[in-house]
Structure 1
Amino acid sequence: MTTRIITDSSANFYDKTILGVDHVSVPLSLEVDGKTWLDDENLDQGQFLLALKETTERSTSSCPNINAWLDAYEGADEIFVITITSALSGSYNAAVQAAKMYHEKNPKAKILVFDSRSAGPQLQLLATKIAQLVNKKFSFEEIVKEAENYQHHIGLVFVLKELANLANNGRVTPAVAKIADLLKLNVIGTANNKGEFELLGKARGIKKAEAKMLKDMIKNGYIGGRVQIDHVQNLDGAKHFKNLIVSKFPNAEVNIGECGALCSFYAENGGLMVGYEK
């Protein structure tokens, strides 16, 4: 029997296994100035970010199609799928449709598609939790129950240093983006229970922003559990935030990774995305 964990590329994780459990990343794609960038392990992150920075046109993202999901399911018997929030992308709906088609041809297969109601490192936490349960020999049904409960005990917080791409795509006004840049304002946000990204506040300077992020994490129930920090060309900022967490919670397990194309598209250069256990 083959057990497989499948994430779309918004998880920022492209390894072939998670704690020894089979893993497949299904890429989203981004279009910038007419060029399509596939969000996979072969992405030239520097060139992609440069293209985003230089364009003044609206850029777009596309979710994986049904065939891409079917290819990822192929050959597996027990499948756990985690997608970016359905409030932001059609990835979840495509994965669900593909699951129905796959089950019709493979009636003994078991598939559950999780709407993460988030993006980036929060998906990694959920995927790792599932892998741990698989390794403990939990049944499919037990894993589903535990994972669904775990979803209520993880969260996301992020900080954005640049807003140019959000301005190009109508998420904020160009004037707001320019003022934020001039004043060195960092925008802090989260994913709410509906999977929508919402503003928590602003801070002048990254140190103040990171202090506010940790304060918001604690307010939301963080007491020293696992943390995954993903950054967009901001390793120093990620390390500084890790040190800030560990100074408050010495036993916290804090890992650092990089954002892929989709998360970089939203977080932009210098951004941090932080998934954490409550």
Structure 2
Amino acid sequence: MSFHIVCDSCTDLTEEDLKKGCYTLVPLTLLVDGEEIIDDETFDQADFLAKVAASKESVKSACPAPESYMEAYSKADDIYVVTLSAELSGSYNSAVLGKNLYEEENGTKNIHVVNSRGAATTQVLIARKLNEYASQGMPFEEVVDKIEEYTTSLRTYFVLETLEVLRKNGRLSRLSATIAGALNIKPVMIGTRDGVIQKAAQARGMKKALAKMVEHMGSEGRDLTRRQFVISHCNCYERAVYVKELIKKHLHAEDVDIVDTKGVSSLYACDGGIIVSY
């Protein structure tokens, strides 16, 4: 049985990942001052960040249409789908509707849509783990069970230069504290397993906040030495390397990968943002 993994474009897979041939990215659309920017291989991060910085209006994203998912569902016998958190985006619901429409036209098929309950790096880990499981020849039902269990074990943290885009787009509706931007207070945010965003800690200045983030990761008491970590950065590679060094030093993890943010991740992380999942 052949398999294929369909991901929305918030999944920050690398060129090396995509060369494996088992992934299809379904693009979201980015909206900046009325201009539509497709989050696909034509995305220009530097140009996009400049447009966001100059924008006077709320910058938004629009999820893929169900038909966009349907097209990808014909690529293999077993189809696995990875989307943004259903609590943050309509991408999950669109993927599910695409499944229903596909099966109405073509009959029942092995299609499983994973609600990542996260974004970006969370999706990368899920997509890579799906490839690992399915490549071993596991039956579809076993892959589904294992990936759902794996997904519940994931944690996602992020530290951003600014939370304005998230705030303007309603992604921080449950944020309990007011952030004192004028004092250079950087909140350490966590994506909960319910798929929403909360503040975990804060520190003055980015470097201290990143250190606080790694400290918070270790406070849960889990053995993280064998966990896979993915760090996604928006135009701040040196900052990502600093976080990688902290993770290896304090959490003793060896498998730490750095990736670039694609369009949707760049929109919400903003210039200088760091996202980490494990």
Q: TM-score normalised to the size of structure 2?
A: 0.90
2:48 is aligned with what amino acid?
Answer: F
Answer yes or no: is the 8 Å Cα contact 1:19–1:132 preserved in 2.
Answer: no
Structure 1 distance, partners of 2:16, 2:241, is 26
Aligned partner of 1:269 in structure 2 is: 271
Q: Within 1, Cα distance between the matches of 2:16 and 2:251?
A: 31
Which of 253, 259, 262 aligns to 1:260? It is 262
Q: Is the alpha carbon distance of 1:47 and 1:192 closer, same or farther for their aligned partners in structure 2, counting shifts above 3 Å? A: same
The Cα of 1:171 is off from its aligned counterpart by 6.2
Identity within the alignment, % = 33
Tell me whether 1:150 sits opposite 2:150 in the alignment: yes
Q: Which moved more, 1:203-212 or 1:110-119?
A: 203-212
Partner of 1:248: 250
Opposite residue 224 of structure 2, the aligned amino acid is I
1:49–1:152 Cα change, 3 Å: same
* SS of structure 2 residue aligned to 1:105: helix
Within-5 A mapping of 1:142-181:
142-166=142-166, 168-169=168-169, 179-180=180-181
Aligned residues: 272
1:233-256 CA-partner distances (Å, limit 9, x unpaired)? 010110000011111244520000
Question: Which stretch of structure 1 is more off in the superposition, 158-167 or 263-272?
Answer: 158-167
2: CA distance between counterparts of 1:248 and 1:217? 10
With over 3 angstroms needed to count, the CA separation of the structure-2 counterparts of 1:49 and 1:235, relative to structure 1, is: same
Comparing 136-145 with 96-105, greater Cα deviation is found at 96-105
Does the Cα contact within 8 Å between 2:247 and 2:253 map onto a contact in 1? no
Judged with a 3 Å threshold, the aligned counterparts in structure 2 of structure 1 residues 32 and 18 are, in CA distance, closer, same or farther, namely: closer
Q: CA deviation at 1:263?
A: 1.3
Of 256-265 and 96-105, the range deviating more from structure 2: 96-105
Give the drift of 1:261.
1.5
Is there any run of 5+ residues in structure 1 with no aligned partner, and where?
A: none
1:120-269 map, 5 Å:
120-166=120-166, 168-169=168-169, 179-180=180-181, 182-220=182-220, 221=222, 223-224=224-225, 225-269=227-271
Using the size of structure 1 for normalisation, the TM-score is: 0.90
The answer on whether the counterparts of 1:155 and 1:191 sit within 8 Å (CA) in structure 2 is: yes
Distance 2:254 2:78 in 1: 32
CA distance in 2, matches of 1:236, 1:75: 38
Contact 2:201–2:213 (CA under 8 A) maintained in structure 1:
no
Task: Quote the RMSD (CA, aligned, Å).
Answer: 2.2
Query: How far does residue 103 in structure 1 lie from its aligned partner after superposition?
Result: 2.1
For 2:99, the equivalent position in structure 1 comes to 99
1:155-184 CA distance string (max 9 Å, x none): 100001123434554667xxx77x51x433
Residues 9, 260 of structure 1: 8 Å contact kept? yes
Moved more, 82-91 or 8-17: 8-17
Query: In the TM superposition, what are the counterparts of 1:98-117 in structure 2 within 5 Å?
Result: 98-107=98-107, 109-117=109-117
The amino acid across from 1:223 in the alignment is L
Cα distance in 2 between the residues matched to 1:252 and 1:14: 19
